[in-house]
Amino acid sequence: MKGASEVLDPGLAPEGHRKIDWAARHSPVLNRVRDRYLKDGTFEGLGVGVALPIEAKTAYLTVVLAEAGARVAVASPGPFFVQDDVAAALAERGVAVYASSRNPPEEADRPLERVLDFALDGREAVLIDDRAGLGRLAHTTRRNLLPRVRGASEETTSGVAKFRAMEAEGALEFPAIAANDARCKYLFDNRYGTGQSTLTALMHSTNQMVGGKRVVVLGYGWCGKGIARYAAGLGARVFVCEVDPVRGLEAYADGFDVLPALEAAELGEVFVTATGSRDVLREEHFERMRDGAILANAGGVDVEIDVAGLRDASSEVREVRRNVEEFSVSGGRRLYLVGRGMVVNLTAGDGHPVEIMDLTFSVQALCARRLAREHRSMHLGVHLLPEEIDEEVARIKLQTVGMSVDSLTPEQERFLTTWRE
């Protein structure tokens, strides 16, 4: 798709190929899913529109789909999630890529629209979506293409919330699968993937110690749980802010302090947001923070930290290490923002570990396949991946690591389904 693609510098392709090869080699589950399920012609000639950060693992998913016969177009939900070498390599592997790290952020919708235009150009397509970006455009600026969309599979918690909001309004015009809500997705990707890669990005970017640090985790959903757990595993003292009291109680039983964000603001040395909400850290929090506090966002939306407000409140902003900006605020205090307030494991790292994305993208490939084959019988709402597909992915993964589970005996099956003794 060299002709169709728009990338920053095609000359970067060799390094991109090397990265994609590494991902391919470490994706045994997706490779087995491909061999077992994707070669049945389902994707032959079908459009696939993809919105995902452009790095090696997402690239490999699109390559697998293209090799299965699909006409794949891909863009990033924003320019900060683009590795230009990978984009260049992808263009050489038969995928239409619209992605450059230099694209203006305010025009983030443009490449997504290009994806829709390509994928749905005279053919039907399924969408693999991130934060409902493609879905939103298909229902607004590209309504003309909407009839040819067989469905969308959504990657993120916040995107699923958007699709559910559309469904609640009666606005959703194709079936959507909450790929995010597959157990093989959120138990691993959201929790341990986010947990490990967020901490790696923070440690790598700041060269600071985790042990003994007061780390404030805002949001104790799956992402927050993973961050808190690994931070504690590295010796941090963890504080949790939540709006859901049961989750708050869970954090308490896990050994963490649970307190309002305004109080946490005065205590924390590191703050990580993972709520899916907006302005979770805002002026009233910045005002209370200690000199030297470190801020990062690990959640699915870019406005969890009010970066614009922070900038307004600062007398000076400068980059003091790669991916670390220093904001000089009132009282001579300096706050440090890692990764621009966008998902830090992508803007200041290589994203989730490859084994995690191998699981996630196996789920995504099977969601896309399901939509492609069964969209006609699916109602116009948000669907879960059927349990047996979830289990199949887990079973393959366990095989690849040399582990396995038992089966119920007939006596046990009977025991579990009868109530008379």
Say whether residue 335 binds a copy of itself (CB under 8 A).
no
- If the CB atoms of residues 1 and 184 are measured against a copy of itself, the closer one turns out to be 184
Say whether residue 122 binds a copy of itself (CB under 8 A).
no
10, 248, 309, 381: which one contacts a copy of itself (CB under 8 A)? 248
Q: How far is CA 294 from CA 245, 276, 286, 342, 366, in A?
A: 26, 19, 11, 14, 39
The least CB distance from residue 419 to a copy of itself, in Å, is 4
Ligand-binding annotation for 352, yes or no, is yes
Say whether residue 129 binds a copy of itself (CB under 8 A).
no
Ligand-binding annotation for 241, yes or no, is no
Q: Which residue has the tokens 């998913």?
A: 61
Say whether residue 381 binds a copy of itself (CB under 8 A).
no
Q: Write the binding mask 292 to 331 for a copy of itself: x where contact by CB under 8 A, - elsewhere.
A: x---------------------------xx----------
Helix (H) or strand (E) holding 243: none
Residue 60 CA to chain centroid, in angstroms?
15
Q: How far is CA 25 from CA 36, 62, 386, in A?
A: 17, 15, 28
Instruction: Please report the beta strands in 187-323, taking only residues with DSSP state E, as ranges in sequence order.
Output: 214-218, 237-241, 257-258, 270-273, 294-297, 316-321
| Tokens at 42, concatenated | 């389902």
Q: Quick one: which segment of 3-11, 61-69, 115-123, 387-395 binds a copy of itself (CB under 8 A)?
A: 387-395
Residue 136 CA to chain centroid, in angstroms?
17
The least CB distance from residue 98 to a copy of itself, in Å, is 19
The least CB distance from residue 61 to a copy of itself, in Å, is 15
Is the separation of the CB atoms in 90 and 97 below 8 Å?
Answer: yes
| Tokens at 404, concatenated | 């396995």
Q: Which residue has the tokens 């016969």?
A: 69
CA–CA separation, 322 and 342 (whole Å): 15
The least CB distance from residue 184 to a copy of itself, in Å, is 6
Say whether residue 107 binds a copy of itself (CB under 8 A).
no
List of residues 6+ apart from 33 with CB closer than 8 A = 362, 365, 366, 393, 396
| Tokens at 79, concatenated | 């320019």
Say whether residue 170 binds a copy of itself (CB under 8 A).
no
Ligand-binding annotation for 222, yes or no, is yes
1, 5, 13, 26: which one contacts a copy of itself (CB under 8 A)? 26
| Tokens at 194, concatenated | 């986010």
Q: Write the binding mask 336 to 365 for a copy of itself: x where contact by CB under 8 A, - elsewhere.
A: -------------xxx-xxxx---------
Say whether residue 281 binds a copy of itself (CB under 8 A).
no
1, 19, 96, 181: which one contacts a copy of itself (CB under 8 A)? 19
Say whether residue 59 binds a copy of itself (CB under 8 A).
no
The least CB distance from residue 8 to a copy of itself, in Å, is 19
Is the separation of the CB atoms in 101 and 75 below 8 Å?
Answer: no
| Tokens at 348, concatenated | 């200041």
254, 288, 309, 381: which one contacts a copy of itself (CB under 8 A)? 254
The least CB distance from residue 123 to a copy of itself, in Å, is 26
CA–CA separation, 63 and 24 (whole Å): 10
The least CB distance from residue 89 to a copy of itself, in Å, is 14
CA–CA separation, 40 and 226 (whole Å): 37
Residues that constitute the known binding site? 221-226, 242, 345, 352
User: Which residue ranges are tagged as binding site for NAD(+)?
Assistant: 221-226, 242, 345, 352
